[in-house]
């Protein structure tokens, strides 16, 4: 179980984590929460139906990592020409009615990581075994994906190279810790997928 997820009886997944791993995962999840931003809390006494139909932003985020997490719905990533007016209008309309819910879901997934890790207690060089229910495992999987997308964007990893040059970074490169986190999250994500689909 060290370093990767394994299936547990009754569904779900388990992983053994040491104190440093718990701290890194928790820190990354909190940073993701900060990046996504707080949700709009309904005003006390406000009409719940109005909150349900609240409109979100219509412009794509300027932060490249947020733009990766919340891409335009009608943009062809393979297109070399800029999006036409109809495509921009359609993307803006889609974003206006979906982004708030997407952000809320991503926040809930990141919070699931923090809450699960907060249940663990580790001292010294010991490890704690984290057990996730099937539902929480799916939340973790989505949050791990969001973390990798965010870090990959910051590292400028493209679909073409999958960050091949990152494997050869010298140890004194300031990106090295982020690369190590990116690769580790990839292992966690892969083993969690294997566990949930076995």
Q: pLDDT for 127-141, tens place per residue?
A: 899 999 999 999 999
pLDDT band at residue 1 under the 50/70/90 scheme: very low
Question: Using one digit for the tens of pLDDT, what is the confidence trace for 109-124?
Answer: 999 999 999 999 877 6
DSSP bridge partners of 13: 7, 132
Higher-scoring residue by pLDDT: 76, 183: 183
DSSP single-letter state for residue 127: E
Share of the chain above pLDDT 90, in %: 49
With 90 as the cut, is the pLDDT of residue 151 above it? yes
pLDDT band at residue 83 under the 50/70/90 scheme: low
Q: Are 139 and 102 in contact (CB under 8 A)?
A: no
Q: Going by C-beta distance under 8 Å and a sequence separation of 6 or more, which residues neighbour residue 40? A: 51, 54, 100
Residue 37 lies inside a defined structural domain of this protein? yes
What SS3 class is residue 22? helix
Residue 54 lies inside a defined structural domain of this protein? yes
Q: Going by C-beta distance under 8 Å and a sequence separation of 6 or more, which residues neighbour residue 163? A: 152, 155, 157, 179, 182
| Nearest residue to 117 (alpha-carbon basis) of 98, 102, 99, 130 | 130
pTM: 0.83
Residue 192 lies inside a defined structural domain of this protein? yes
Residue 1 lies inside a defined structural domain of this protein? no
| Nearest residue to 185 (alpha-carbon basis) of 129, 126, 145 | 145
Give dist(CA 155, CA 152) in Å, integer. Answer: 5
Q: Are 143 and 113 in contact (CB under 8 A)?
A: yes
Residue 85 lies inside a defined structural domain of this protein? yes
What SS3 class is residue 157? coil
Q: Are 29 and 106 in contact (CB under 8 A)?
A: no
Phi, psi of 3 (to 5 degrees): 85, -5
Token look-up 């009615």 returns 97
Residue-number span of the structural domain to which 86 is assigned: 6-197
Higher-scoring residue by pLDDT: 175, 87: 175
With 80 as the cut, is the pLDDT of residue 32 above it? yes
Counting the structural domains of the chain, the total is: 1
Residue 17 lies inside a defined structural domain of this protein? yes
In Å, how far from its chain's centre is CA 125? 28
């Amino acid at each position: 179980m060290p370093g990767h997820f394994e299936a547990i009886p009754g569904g779900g997944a388990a992983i053994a984590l040491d104190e440093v791993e718990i701290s890194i995962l928790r820190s990354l999840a909190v940073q993701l929460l900060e990046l996504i931003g707080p949700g709009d809390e309904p005003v006390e006494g406000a009409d719940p139906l109005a909150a349900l139909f609240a409109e979100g932003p219509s412009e794509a985020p300027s932060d490249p990592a947020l733009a990766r997490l919340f891409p335009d719905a009608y943009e062809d990533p393979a297109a070399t020409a800029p999006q036409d007016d109809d495509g921009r209008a359609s993307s803006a309309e889609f974003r206006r009615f979906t982004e708030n819910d997407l952000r809320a879901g991503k926040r809930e997934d990141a919070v699931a990581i923090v809450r699960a890790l907060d249940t663990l207690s580790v001292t010294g060089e010991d490890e704690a075994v984290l057990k996730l229910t099937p539902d929480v495992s799916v939340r973790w999987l989505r949050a791990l994906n969001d973390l990798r997308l965010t870090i990959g964007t910051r590292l400028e990893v493209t679909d073409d190279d999958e960050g091949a040059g990152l494997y050869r970074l010298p140890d004194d490169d300031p990106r090295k810790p982020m690369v190590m986190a990116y690769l580790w999250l990839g292992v966690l994500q892969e083993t969690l997928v294997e566990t949930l689909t076995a």
